[in-house]
């Protein structure tokens, strides 16, 4: 990336950040709530993508980690009267522990066998949350009702007050940017290369000295921690948790978000989150009788148009744009075009 591209990238990033800071005051509270859920789903999808996209471990049970993170935050807020922001790291630590333990079966299982094991986890957790022995903590089938935190100060922008949902928008945006930064720092270096090596060539990775059991277990833990933070934020934003909110369908939805956004991409989580948040509502508006059929049509079309996900399509378009843009020389003129193949000594043949 040359200096000009880097400069325009920074300018575009600052413009986008300014737009995101003003956006909640341009829409109604319900739309702000939907945007909050998009950012929460983006964090959960990013966590699942670290496991599935980068490390090659298929999980159909990340809805369980989302539920655990949500219940940890809800119980600490409802019974311990903790501030909501303090519940996020606790949810991350708890879900990391559960994910790390779940990583041990992953050492002996792979492919569809691992997917079935995690699927069983997604089936079991909602039922365990209804268990009579812990009903006094989890609320049983009735769940736990929370109160949304009030903003710490009063503010009016463009005639719109800083409501609870708008305040949570800024909190969720800050947490999302932090989690994306952590994932970027983690995956762009040696750890990311080790995860990809394990995914593509596990035997060769082990021969190069990569400890497969440690990396697989830690990856499961880190992935679960990301999803647990998303679940805790989801509990705060929705202000309610119940076992029926975290069915198997949530785990499948998160996996759909990973595929739509793009496997082994960080920014693809944003596109996947928009898809799983808004497309079901659009499908229901189109057809009240068969909304999921319309949802399936949307999904099939997107997979046909974007086989590598939304992030892959955008990367290809940007690559074509960069190749079509002439490179400037120090004198300010365009670089000379490459000589035709026939002018080479070998006539352009190898």
Note the pLDDT tens digit of each residue in 308-327: 888 888 888 877 777 776 55
What CA–CA distance (Å, rounded) separates 311 from 181? 17
Note the pLDDT of residue 5.
64
What CA–CA distance (Å, rounded) separates 262 from 306? 9
Series of mean pLDDT values for 10-residue runs along the chain (350 residues): 66 84 89 95 96 90 95 95 95 95 78 85 92 89 92 86 92 96 91 89 89 89 96 96 92 93 92 93 84 86 87 82 60 47 41
Note the pLDDT of residue 39.
96
Q: Is residue 18 part of a domain?
A: no
Q: Is residue 284 part of a domain?
A: no
Q: Is residue 51 part of a domain?
A: yes
Closest residue by Cα to residue 198 from 183, 215, 221: 215
Q: Is residue 283 part of a domain?
A: no
Note the pLDDT of residue 338.
46
Provide the domain count of the chain. 1
- Give a three-class secondary structure readout of the chain: CCHHHHHHHHHHHHHHHHHHHHHHHCCCHHHHHHHHHHHHHHHHHHHHHHHHHHCCCCCCCHHHHHHHHHHHHHHHHHHCCCCHHHHHHHHHHHHHHHHHHHHHHHHHCCCHHHHHHHHHHHHHHHHHHCCHHHHHHHCHHHCEECCCCCCCCCCEECCEECCHHHHHHHHHHHHHHHHHHHHHHHHCCHHHHHHHHHHHCHHHHHHCCCCHHHHHHHHHHHHHHHHHHHHHHHHHHHCEECHHHCCHHHHHHHHHHHHHHCCCCCCHHHHHHHHHHHHHHHHHHHCCCCHHHHHHHHHHHHHHHCCCHHHHHHHHHHHHHHHHCCCECCCCCECCCCCCHHHCCCCCCC
Give pTM, 2 decimals.
0.89
What CA–CA distance (Å, rounded) separates 309 from 267? 11
Q: Is residue 228 part of a domain?
A: yes
Dihedral, CA atoms, 248, 254, 257, 259, nearest 10 degrees?
-80
Q: Is residue 224 part of a domain?
A: yes
Note the pLDDT of residue 331.
46
Note the pLDDT of residue 9.
72
Closest residue by Cα to residue 187 from 93, 264, 256: 264
Q: Write out the two tokens for 307.
A: 């086989």
Q: Is residue 257 part of a domain?
A: no
Q: Is residue 178 part of a domain?
A: yes
Residue 222 sits in which domain range?
25-246
């Amino acid at each position: 990336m040359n200096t000009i591209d880097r400069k325009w990238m920074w300018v575009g990033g600052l413009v986008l950040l300014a737009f995101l800071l003003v956006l909640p005051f341009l829409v109604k509270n319900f739309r702000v709530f939907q945007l909050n859920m998009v950012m929460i789903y983006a964090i959960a999808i990013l966590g699942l993508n670290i496991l599935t996209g980068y490390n090659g471990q298929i999980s159909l049970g990340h809805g369980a980690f989302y539920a655990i993170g949500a219940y940890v935050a809800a119980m600490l807020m409802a019974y311990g009267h903790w501030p909501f922001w303090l519940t996020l790291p606790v949810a991350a630590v708890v879900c990391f522990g559960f994910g790390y333990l779940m990583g041990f079966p992953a050492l002996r299982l792979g492919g569809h066998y691992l997917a079935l094991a995690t699927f069983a986890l997604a089936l079991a957790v909602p039922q365990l949350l209804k268990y009579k022995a812990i009903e006094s903590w989890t609320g049983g089938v009735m769940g736990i009702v929370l109160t949304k935190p009030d903003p710490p100060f009063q503010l009016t922008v463009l005639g719109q007050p800083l409501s609870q949902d708008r305040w949570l928008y800024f909190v969720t945006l800050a947490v999302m940017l932090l989690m994306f930064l952590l994932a970027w720092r983690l995956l762009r270096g040696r750890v990311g290369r080790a995860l990809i090596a394990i995914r593509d060539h596990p035997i060769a990775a082990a021969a190069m000295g990569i400890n497969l059991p440690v990396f697989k277990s830690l990856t499961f833990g880190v992935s679960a921690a990301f999803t647990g933070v998303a679940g805790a934020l989801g509990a705060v934003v929705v202000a309610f948790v119940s076992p029926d909110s975290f069915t198997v369908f949530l785990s499948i939805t998160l996996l759909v978000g990973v595929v739509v956004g793009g496997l082994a991409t960080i920014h693809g989580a944003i596109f996947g989150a928009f898809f799983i948040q808004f497309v079901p509502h659009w499908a229901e508006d189109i057809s009240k009788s068969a909304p999921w059929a319309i949802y399936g049509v949307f999904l099939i079309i997107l997979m046909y148009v974007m086989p590598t996900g939304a992030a892959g399509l955008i990367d290809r378009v940007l690559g074509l744009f960069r190749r079509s843009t002439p490179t400037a020389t120090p004198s300010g003129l365009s670089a000379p075009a490459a000589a035709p193949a026939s002018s080479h000594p070998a006539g352009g043949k190898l």
